[in-house]
Amino acid sequence: MYFPFRIGGQFVPEEVTKATGLWPARTWRKGAAVGRRRRVTEDDFWDYRIGPVEATDAGPPLAALMQAVVPNAAYLTSLPESSPVGFTVTISI
């Protein structure tokens, strides 16, 4: 299982890393060619994740994700004030 917290929109991914102290699994800037098809991206992207985790109980890894993200809530919620940013939390099994 993976427990990612993703941010997409118009922002500087390196600034999110610096402000939160969280090391992302991956980032890219608008206009980057990503993936196998080398698709050119329309947004900046920052992806922090817990996992892979081999467990039947999603509670502990989800709690670990929340412990990492929640202390940064003030900074993260300030991002949309300067640009359109979308937040996504997904559990992949």
Q: Which domain holds residue 33?
A: 3-89
Of the candidates 37, 15, 2, 26, the residue with the CA atom closest to the CA atom of residue 82: 15
- CA-based Rg of the chain, rounded to a whole angstrom? 14
Q: Tell me what pLDDT residue 35 has.
A: 87
Q: Tell me what pLDDT residue 83 has.
A: 63
Q: Mean pLDDT of residues grouped by 10 in the chain (93 residues)?
A: 86 95 95 92 91 86 91 86 64 66
Q: Tell me what pLDDT residue 3 has.
A: 86
Q: Tell me what pLDDT residue 21 has.
A: 96
Which pair of tokens denotes residue 78?
Answer: 């300030």
Which pair of tokens denotes residue 32?
Answer: 């980057």
Helix axes 73-82, 13-20, angle to 10 degrees: 160
Neighbours of 40 (CB within 10 A): 10
Q: Tell me what pLDDT residue 56 has.
A: 85
Number of domains into which the chain is organized: 1
Judge whether 31 and 41 are in contact, CB under 8 Å.
Answer: yes
Rounded to two decimals, what is the model's pTM? Answer: 0.82
